[in-house]
Each structure stands twice: as C-alpha cells, then as structure tokens.
Amino acid sequence: MKIAFCFYFSLITWLVNSQVVNIENRRIYDDTSGWSGAFDAGFSAVQNKDLLLNATFRPRLQYKTKKHYYLFLTDWYYSKGADRVYANTGMVHFRYAYRLNKKNSTKKSPWKWESYAQTQYNQMLDQRLRSLVGTGLRIKALDKNGYRIFAGMSTLYEYEAIQSSDIIQKNLRSSNYISWYFNPKSTFSFSAVTYFQPLWNNLNDFRFMGQYTLTFSTFKRIDFRFEFNNFYDSKPPKDVRNWIFNTSVGIRIRLGE
C-alpha cells in the first residue's frame, strides 16, 4: 500500500508539471556570469508483489553574460511494472535571451527578448509528440531586498500528435507567465509561478498551470514546507482529465551549526 501511494503521488506530480513546463523554477537566479548547472539522475527498484522499476534523468546547463543567456535542460522519467509501463515522459528544452539595453547605456535593462524551442512526450497525457518554438518579451519587474518579480509574454507555435488517434494539432498560442520570489527573512520564503496559454484564435481553448511553495521556520532548526501544483486544460484529449493537482507538506530538521 505504501509503495503504491508513493508511486501514485510522484506520478501525479509529473502529470501536473509535464504539459505546461515550468521553466522558471529551472533557472539559476544569481548574478554570476559564466557556466553553471546540475546533473540529476536516479534509479530505483522495488520488489513487492511485482517488481517496480523507476528511472529519472535531469541534466541542466546554463551560461550567462551581461547581455546573453542560454539555458538547456532535459527531463526524463520512466516507470515500469512486471507487465506494463506506468509512465514514460521526456522533454528537451533550449532557451536564449538577449538583454535589451539602450545604446551607450551603462545601466542594466530589466527587459529581455527570449526565444525557445521544446520537444516532449507523455503517454499518461495521451501525448505522442509535442514540439514548439516561441519568442517574446520578459521583464524583471522587481529585484530588491529579497523580493523578485518576473513576467513574460510570448507567442509559440506548437505541433502536437495524439497517441490514441491520428489527430495532429497545429496551433498558435499566447504564453504568459508571472513569477515571484519573496525571501524577506531567513525564516520565511514564498515562491510562485503561474502560466496561462490560450489559443490566439480561440481564447476559450487555454491551458493554465500554477506552482506555489511556502517555506517557513517556527523553531531554530525545523523548517516546514508546503507546495501546491495544479494544471488545467480546457480542451484535453479524450479520456484525459481537465484538471490535475497535487499538494504536499514536508518538514526538514537541520543539524549542526
């Protein structure tokens, strides 16, 4: 029972975040130029009544200068039981941003022009292939005393092939987001990202995704974390739910000085 619950919870988390990919939480927010990144990979095998195999692969690479920003990331998850595959999802994303400084100005502009490309698949969302390219503006609206707010608007072209049929969708969408990071004190932080992606020619056909995380300390060495994720598609593929969400509550105990 415990194994089944843990698998179900991780699967729901992947479903929530896999259609509208949250790139904001993959960025590395610092002022250091040059290369940075991380490489995450994992494998687990659980033998209960049946053998359950899980594997993840999540490299991330970022390069930035005063005017240029590059981001490359891959996200892959696979889960297989004795007689069937429970989850098989993958995504590759590349993003480039150029800072729009005024000519001969030494002041750093809050505006950037971004372009991106992405390819993904997800059998649980009946998605054989979804590829997209997009471009648009991004602004750093606030960056002061532990408060950061970013917003962006772009247009993307998407190609989506449905797994259970021969349906292929080709659409132009508007992709809009706002993200904020509040960390005014060492004992409290709040981060949130909200995406809204309607079709340009039909605003009633839209996708919405939100991720919200609250962390606070009530005791010297104990941190509490609350996270809520949700995804809504107004016109999903047949037999796929419109609204998917997950929530989690956790505790961390810090040792040492």
> 77: closest CA among 51, 57, 53?
57
* CB 163, CB 169: distance < 8 Å: no
Confidence of residue 244 (pLDDT cuts 50, 70, 90): confident
**How far is 94 from 97, CA to CA, in rounded Å?**
10
| 181 or 105, greater pLDDT | 181
Any long-range contacts for 240-244 (C-beta under 8 Å, 24+ apart)?
Answer: 240/125, 240/126, 244/12, 244/15, 244/16
Q: Please report, for residues 130, 162, 217, the alpha-carbon distance to residue 169 in angstroms, rounded to integers and kept in the order given.
A: 9, 8, 47
Instruction: Give the confidence band of 184 by pLDDT, cuts at 50, 70, 90.
Output: confident
Residue 235 pLDDT greater than 90, yes or no: no
Q: For residues 183 and 194, is the Cβ–Cβ distance under 8 A?
A: no
Spatial separation of the C-alpha atoms in residues 136 and 116, rounded to whole Å: 9
How many Cα atoms are found within 13 Å in the side-chain-facing hemisphere of 49?
Answer: 5
Q: 10 Å Cβ neighbour count for 49?
A: 9
The pLDDT-based confidence of 175 (bands split at 50, 70, 90) is: very high
> Domains in the chain and their CATH numbers?
2-253 (2.40.160)
pLDDT above 70 for 4: no
- From 115, 70, 74, 78, select the one nearest 93 (Cα to Cα): 74
